[in-house]
């Protein structure tokens, strides 16, 4: 199925910062990688990443959750992390990412789970509880969306730029700009080190392995109609089942993509009683910026 799972790199632990056993699930479009840590009879916690990251984003979450007795499942979307990276753009639509995630969850037989989701991991990860509400007990939502956009929605200028034909290919696939420029500039400088830089660069060593990175920004909808908007509308509708279940939020206030107003406009009306952890010094990639604040909050939420 196109590019192989590995980039030829020998050390995928990144100096011991990612010490987890790799596991794989064949989706038909390629193998998706995931880690599955903690006791098998523990209550599942599923951690879902977005673009341009992979499961490594949750490295500070996995061991504390597993040590607390939870079964921690962290998938990499096709085209990301240690998953296969076929060079075929049509495989990376949001509905197809969702179908693969749901298939993986079904294969693992998870019950009574909590979904933790951020960025594109929001609409993708939350599509599982929206479609399988009997499998999921609670949601922990961070700097994301799962809503049909209103008319007149404007895509941010930087995203319009990289969505443009040829320009996007040159910047994202040629220059690897989504990781080297956008991701590395978005994470707090004091939280980014040699190991994490290597971990985020490793999955996409060549032009052909970066197709998934390019498709995500091109999937951002700017109108209330269309395949992605319809998908988002379905997810949003399905999440109504959780209005009487445990839901909590953590939100980085310095996120230029999802500033605090996005939470107040989109999520607060849906879950007005849900607690929120506001993170004054965190941005979009809050798992990197403030894990020492998020993980205890998440553990407290899980114990309620």
Residues with a catalytic annotation lie at 119, 255, 284
List, as one string, the DSSP characters of 118-129. Answer: ETTHHHHHHHHH
Q: Where are the alpha helices (DSSP H) in 202-278?
A: 211-218, 227-238, 260-262
| Burial (CB count within 10 angstroms: exposed 0-12, middle 13-18, buried 19+), residue 295 | buried
Task: Determine the angle formed by the axes of helices 227-238 and 94-108, rounding to 10 degrees.
Answer: 40
The structure tokens 């290597």 sit at: 198
Query: Quick check: 119 and 36 in contact, CB under 8 A?
Result: no
Tell me the C-alpha to C-alpha distance, in Å, between residue 129 and each of 50, 82, 183, 247, 271: 17, 25, 28, 12, 15
Whole-angstrom CA distances from 89 to 101, 102, 159, 173, 271 are 18, 20, 18, 12, 35
């Amino acid at each position: 199925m196109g590019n192989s799972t590995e980039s030829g790199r020998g050390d995928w632990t990144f100096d011991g910062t990612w010490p987890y056993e790799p596991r794989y699930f064949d989706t038909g479009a390629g193998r998706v990688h995931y880690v599955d840590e903690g006791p098998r009879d523990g209550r599942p916690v599923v951690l879902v990443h977005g673009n341009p990251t992979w499961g490594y984003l949750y490295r500070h979450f996995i061991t504390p959750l597993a040590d607390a007795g939870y079964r921690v499942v962290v998938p990499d979307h096709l085209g990301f992390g240690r998953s296969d990276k076929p060079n075929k753009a049509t495989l990376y639509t949001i509905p197809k990412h969702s179908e693969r995630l749901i298939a993986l969850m079904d294969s693992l037989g998870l019950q009574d789970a909590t979904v933790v989701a951020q960025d594109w991991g929001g609409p993708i990860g939350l599509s599982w509880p929206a479609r399988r509400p009997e499998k999921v007990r609670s949601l922990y939502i961070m700097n994301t969306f799962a809503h049909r956009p209103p008319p007149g929605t404007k895509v941010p200028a930087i995203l319009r730029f990289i969505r443009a034909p040829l320009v996007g290919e040159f910047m994202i696939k040629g220059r690897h700009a989504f990781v080297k420029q956008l991701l590395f500039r978005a994470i707090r400088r004091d939280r980014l080190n040699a190991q994490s830089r290597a971990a985020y660069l490793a999955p996409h060593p060549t032009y052909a392995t970066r197709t998934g990175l390019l498709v995500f920004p091109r999937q951002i909808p700017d109108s209330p109609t269309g395949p992605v908007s319809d998908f988002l509308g379905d997810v949003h509708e399905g999440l109504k089942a959780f209005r009487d279940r445990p839901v909590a939020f953590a939100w980085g206030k310095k996120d230029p993509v999802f500033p605090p107003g996005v939470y107040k406009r989109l999520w607060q009306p849906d879950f007005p009683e849900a607690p929120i952890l506001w993170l004054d010094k965190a941005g979009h990639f809050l798992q990197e910026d403030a894990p020492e604040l998020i993980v205890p909050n998440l553990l407290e939420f899980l114990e309620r």
